[in-house]
Chains A and B, each alone.
Chain A
């Protein structure tokens, strides 16, 4: 089944404790992206990757890192999480840039205390 998976689905952590949210897709998509969703602010793009070893900032990249060492994986790294990073995070992938149909993961709900 074609899908985007994210882990963990729920995470509660404390300020400053490094964490990684994994994202994997099995559709051989070149393009992958991370979004965060907050009440009243909608979905905002954090980082995106056009292909392996190619990443770039989205609209809200501060406090996040990403890497794209393999085509299927695009982890989101929070080196020193802060409470304002409490959010619902979505990973997405598509075949050709962001113009193709984007497939979204199920989401990761992160709480930073």
Chain B
């Protein structure tokens, strides 16, 4: 079973920030939060991951709450090409399991 809860869908206006929430209330101390996205039926694409500190890369920012029970993926300036299903996954880095839940379908609108 996926250990995360995400809203099934969200809309965002082009050029605005997209904030995608994820609840992971049962996360263990050694589990990281990973985000992937899947555009249409393409292979999933890695976005970012983190343990407890906020992380930023060229694609997005990841904000993890202090108690680590939830996180938010931020796409600072969403474009139409960011329309995709976004998956939040919690797991230990050296484990094998990569369990994808249903994700959030983000639609960026003009």
Residues of A within 8 A of B (CB): 4, 33, 37, 42-45, 48, 50, 56, 58-59, 88, 90, 92, 96-107, 109
Q: A residues within 8 A CB of B36?
A: 102
Task: Report, nearest first, the 8 A-B pairs whose CB atoms are least far apart.
Answer: A99-B93, A104-B43, A43-B100, A101-B46, A97-B94, A98-B98, A104-B44, A98-B96
Instruction: List 13 additional A-B contacts (Cβ < 8 Å) besides A4-B43, A98-B96, A104-B45.
Output: A37-B41, A56-B96, A90-B44, A92-B43, A96-B93, A96-B94, A97-B94, A98-B97, A99-B32, A99-B95, A101-B46, A102-B44, A107-B42
- Whether A43 pairs with B44 at a CB distance below 8 angstroms is yes
B75: CB under 8 A from chain A?
no
Number of A-B residue pairs with CB-CB distance less than 8 Å in the complex they form? 59
Residue interface bits B54-91, CB-to-A below 8 A is 1, else 0: 00000000000000000000000000000000000001
Most buried by A among B43, B44, B91, B96: B43
| B97 close to A100 (CB less than 8 A) | no
* A103 CB to nearest B CB, Å: 7
A107 to chain B: which residues have CB within 8 Å?
A: 41-43
Contact A99 B46, beta carbon cutoff 8 Å: no
Shortest Cβ gap from A24 to chain B (Å):
14
Which residues on B are within 8 Å of A, measured CB to CB? Answer: 32, 36, 41-46, 49, 91-103
Q: Which of B42, B46, B101 contacts A102 (CB 8 A)?
A: B46
> Within the assembled complex, what's the spacing in Å between the Cα atoms of A102 and B96?
11
